[in-house]
Structure 1
Amino acid sequence: MPWPLRWLLLAVMMGGSAALALWAFEFGKEITGLDGDARTELVALREEVSRMREEHERALSVANTADSLLKAAQTTQASLAARVKALEAENLALTRDLGFFEKLMPARDDGKPLAVRGLQATIDSPGRLRYQALLMQAVGRSGEVKGRYDLLVTGTHEGKSWTQTVSKPAQSIEMKQYQRLEGTIDLPAGVVVKQLEIKVLDAAGKLQASEVARM
């Protein structure tokens, strides 16, 4: 037989052997069920990965929402705390004003022509005392009143008794029914104020009314 035919016959035989071996391998996989189980497991794994990815995205969304809600709650809490603090300060101021105006009721006619109502004294800043009061004529009295008022501050300085009299041109009185008295007093360093006394004098220097505010 010529060599080309021999090589052709050999190639056909080798191809047939390879085809038979491949058929045997595929047939063996089908018999053992290996190929079907692998596909099923692969599908299951893909579904599990997809489910886990969805759960991850859902958990991430919930976490972002929770973080936003937490920040909003913290902002709201801070705003409410500031509002409560402002309301407390406003309530304190209103309480003080109420107490002050309650003292501004018309003075009774007890024989004195004038009365000092609602005297208040507070330390406005270190070394400065602020005061306010209302001077009123007694009920049933009228007419113009002129005069002045003096202030007497009493306290301690370096452990010793201390007093200071304040009489200024600005502390003049000229009214018909009432006049608001207010101002500040400069204090020496280290003074501890115990009380403030106001004395109202007429044009002749005669005492018409007085009041004391204790610190």
Structure 2
Amino acid sequence: MRFRLLRRRLTISAPRVSVRSAMPWPLRWAVLAIMLGFCGAIALWAFEFGKNLAGLEPHAREEVLALREQLAQMRDERDKAQSVANTSGSLLTAERATQERLLAQVHQLEQDNRSLRDDLGFFEKLIPANSQDDVGIRGLQAEVLAGQQLRWQILVIQPVKAGPEFKGRLEMVLSGTLAGKPWEMPLPQGPVALQFRQYRRLEGVLELPAQAVVKQVTARVLDANGSRAVQTLKL
């Protein structure tokens, strides 16, 4: 019997035995609290140590705020620079357009200057050496163009400075042959009104009839008192 009891205790069929600590529960809670405090202290130390390793010092927040302000300032400066660049582009475009317009004006002024020099040379040739206090015809010119046209040019001058204003009219007559017969033709629009103090330049182009041959051009200046000047040009 004893052998069976001993074998039952020493083999798997032995009854289960539970071991319980004799430590009271208040002491258990105290030990647990100490362990939790120790773990919290270790965690806090690890956090502070990690902050030091990462370079997050106590004044890091102020530095981050300062960097954000610098970034905002740099963005504002970039926007201002972009605005200045856009404005500069617009100004360059406007300046190019202005330069092109000025070049066109310069070319036009050069052409006007050449025309004025030509007119001045033309007038100098026409002014007589001994000017008289009367209206005269200078530089009557006429040229037959292709297509039965005649271009004419005339200068009426009063070679007196600060003289009275002249009021009158200009009559012009073309003479020659038409189909082999004598022919004359005045200006189609009639006499041209004249009103000037020193000179008046007139020119125009006339359409000639078919088979017309112009041999002579006669210009006459008249006022209320009658004829003042006459000049004839033979072609």
TM-score (norm 2): 0.46
Rg bigger for which structure?
2
TM-score (norm 1): 0.49
